[in-house]
Amino acid sequence: MTTAILSALPEEQGGLVHALQAAERIDHAGRTFWRGRLCGHDVVLALCGIGKVAAATTATSLAERFAVRRMVFTGVAGGVGEGVQVGDVVVASEYLQHDMDASPLFPRWEVPGQGSALMACDGPLSAILMRAAGAYLERSGGQFDQYLPAAHAPRLHQGLIASGDQFISTAAASQRLRGDLLAAGHDVLAVEMEGAAVLQVCRDYQLPFAAVRTISDRADDSAHVDFPRFVEQVARRYADGVVRELLGQ
């Protein structure tokens, strides 16, 4: 069974390409894919770039051309939930597209044809990812303290992540998004720009999907500083650690 490991940016993919055995590079549809074996598993590593369309075309290639049997997204996200801090890890239980609005034809955030705003990730695969992320956080305890908010031990969360084609970079935008979603009963933990698109493709192809995101910023007025700093200094190590734990489970 081949597992696809997707990330938007090279730093989110970490050193996984270098760890690949029997590595084969395939350039297709403007993307680079790496096929090989990692921790005894057949994998395809893919970088999709930023945004939902780029993520969806990459996921479609993985399903059509590489015949993967499950997809896992690993990357960073902006924390918007209460107590979701830089350095924490969020495993998605479900996704929503916060920039989808076909109202009044369909309820706000509902992707027409999907029947609901919320799209659930695969339960068993997400449970494995939770265990992997938990094990990694335990193993790496204290290692990233210099990059994290003072006196904050990284925590693991599971819940709703919202995707949209926007980098959320003001406290006002973040609070508005969180408030609007909360008013509709959706307690969002984090925002990013790809996951819901990959999940939608996986639903179409009936493939299990799970996602793990490390919090790089609080989607507030300092997000544009915190995001690149975290991506450069920390994201790579988290990606490596969590994916290896995942495949070792």
108 close to 117: Cβ distance less than 8 angstroms:
yes
Of 175, 193, 216, residue with least CA distance to 81: 175
Q: How far is the CB of 40 from ligand ADE (least distance, A)?
A: 31
Question: Which residue sits closest to ligand ADE, CB atoms considered?
Answer: 78
Q: How far is the CB of 136 from ligand ADE (least distance, A)?
A: 19
What residues contact 52, with CB distance under 8 A and at least 6 apart?
97, 163, 164, 165, 193, 194, 196, 197
Catalytic sites, residue numbers:
12, 217
- Which C-beta is closer to ligand ADE: that of 96 or that of 191? 191
- Which C-beta is closer to ligand ADE: that of 24 or that of 221? 221
- Contacts of the segment 99-103: beta carbons below 8 A, 24+ positions apart: 99/164, 99/165, 99/166, 100/164
Q: How far is the CB of 123 from ligand ADE (least distance, A)?
A: 25
Partners of 120 in beta bridges: 94
Of 68, 1, 16, 12, residue with least CA distance to 244: 16
Q: How far apart are CA 91 and CA 93, in angstroms?
A: 7
- Which C-beta is closer to ligand ADE: that of 78 or that of 241? 78
DSSP H or E stretch at residue 177: helix 171-183
Q: How far is the CB of 9 from ligand ADE (least distance, A)?
A: 10
- Which C-beta is closer to ligand ADE: that of 193 or that of 202? 193
Crossing angle of helices 123-139 and 236-248, rounded to 10°? 120
Contact residues for ligand ADE (CB under 6 A)?
76-78, 167-169, 191-193, 216-217, 219, 223, 227
188 close to 237: Cβ distance less than 8 angstroms:
no
Q: How far is the CB of 203 from ligand ADE (least distance, A)?
A: 22
Q: How far apart are CA 161 and CA 190, in angstroms?
A: 5
Of 230, 222, 211, residue with least CA distance to 11: 230
